[in-house]
Amino acid sequence: MSTMPGFSLKSLHFLTYNVNGLNTPERRKRLFRELRALRSSVAFLQETHFKTGASPILRDPAFLVGHFSDPYQNKSRGVAILFAKDIPVTVDAVLPDKEGRFLFVKCTIVDVVYTFASIYLPNTNQHRCLASILRRLDSFKSGTLVVAGDFNAPRDPRTDTSAGRSSIPHNVLRHIRRSLDSLQLVDVWRAFHAGERDYTFFSPVHSSYLRLDYVFVQQGMLLNVVDSAIQAQSWSDHCPLLITFSSPLSRPSERQWRLNLTLLQNPAICQDVTTCLRNYFSDNERAEVPFPTTWEAHKAVLRGLLISKATALKRESS
């Protein structure tokens, strides 16, 4: 496998962020400061609020490559994908949306082909917009697919809202899930945090916290995910979501995770595993997701738990 000078074996960090406008120098400065602090490799941005032909320069010494999809009519939308300068990326194809709702970038990092999609859905009829976007994505994509963005909808109001409910009709949420299932897309954060509650946005209108921002990968790629974490809110009204992906320099045999069997000799860890699996399948048994998808996702959940337990034990013994 070929490599590029200066590119070391490391993980890739995918960050999705609704930035709520980048039309002032101060907001752009804050964005790049945060991207650097979080060591972002690829940044998926929504609501840049740039208009086609009238956008300011969105570039930083640490992020020299960027692609944009700006609306023609107004500044209310806009999405972008930025690449860190230390990522050896070769862009093969770009598909922007004239309405500023999506941006697809097909590229190669080292020898691995990726398709990245940054999506910003409207706050009504999300299901129709998503279905249209994913149909276009299906004919565009190749290689490893990463879909990220603000979907303006909680996938499951029971766990993705602090109120436990949503004003969005059930049929809309059901069609969103079906569209995602059609491409075998798995919610990465939920796969690693089954049953947990955390949110990316506060709605003052509904006095409720919601999880609206997501990263999805196809179920076969879940084993490439190392970590998934919602970051603290800072200057935007949304929290960024950071996904850590295994390095494209790792060969499949090197990416293969092996269970440390001594963990299963610890009664407390065994109990945690039992509780985790019970909660996971209980939370997902009523979800309108094919069982193979649920089964594939549970492996990533279990792996994440065991890795965290092994790390904690190692820290205690050192």
pLDDT digits (tens, 9 = 90+) for 71-91: 867 777 999 999 999 999 999
Q: Is 72 a catalytic residue?
A: no
Catalytic residue among 60, 97, 114, 120: 120
Q: CA 210 to CA 153: how far, in whole Å?
A: 8
Closest CA to 244 of 199, 196, 294, 192: 192
| Sign of the four-CA dihedral 104, 11, 40, 204 | positive
DSSP summary character for residue 121:
-
Number of domains the chain is built from: 2
Q: Is 175 a catalytic residue?
A: no
94-110: average pLDDT: 95
pLDDT at 246 (0 to 100): 87
> Cα 147–152–153 angle (5° rounding)?
95
pLDDT at 1 (0 to 100): 42
Which alpha helices (DSSP H) does the chain contain, by range? 25-37, 126-140, 157-160, 170-182, 188-192, 252-255, 267-284, 291-317
Residue 284 pLDDT exceeds 70: no
Q: CA 128 to CA 211: how far, in whole Å?
A: 20
275 and 139 belong to one structural domain: no
173-192: average pLDDT: 92
106 and 21 belong to one structural domain: yes
Task: Tell whether 166 is covered by a domain.
Answer: yes
91 and 232 belong to one structural domain: yes
227 and 284 belong to one structural domain: no
pLDDT at 289 (0 to 100): 59
Unique residue bearing structure tokens 């299932």: 181
Residue 119 pLDDT exceeds 50: yes
> Cα 201–206–211 angle (5° rounding)?
30
Residue 253 pLDDT exceeds 50: no
> Cα 231–31–17 angle (5° rounding)?
50
- From 230, 252, 274, give the residue that closes a domain: 252
- 3-state SS, residue 316: helix
Catalytic residue among 13, 67, 193, 238: 238
- From 201, 225, 252, give the residue that closes a domain: 252
Q: CA 105 to CA 315: how far, in whole Å?
A: 40
List the domain range (segments joined by +) for residue 264.
257-317
Check the annotation: does 123 bind a ligand: no
231-238: average pLDDT: 97
Q: CA 175 to CA 121: how far, in whole Å?
A: 14
32-49: average pLDDT: 97
Check the annotation: does 283 bind a ligand: no
- From 252, 267, 283, give the residue that closes a domain: 252
Check the annotation: does 47 bind a ligand: yes
Check the annotation: does 238 bind a ligand: yes
183-199: average pLDDT: 90
The structure's pTM equals 0.79
In a 10 Å sphere around its CB, with 0-12 CB exposed, 13-18 middle and 19+ buried, how is residue 160 labelled? buried
Q: What tokens does 158 get?
A: 């029971």
Residue 222 confidence class, pLDDT cut points 50, 70, 90 = confident
pLDDT at 121 (0 to 100): 98
Q: Is 120 a catalytic residue?
A: yes
Residue 154 pLDDT exceeds 80: yes
Q: What is the mean pLDDT of the chain?
A: 87
64 and 118 belong to one structural domain: yes
Check the annotation: does 237 bind a ligand: yes
130 and 183 in contact (C-beta within 8 Å)? no
Task: Tell whether 281 is covered by a domain.
Answer: yes
Residue 293 pLDDT exceeds 80: no
Q: CA 84 to CA 280: how far, in whole Å?
A: 35
Unique residue bearing structure tokens 């590119």: 7
- CATH number for the domain spanning 106: value is 3.60.10.10
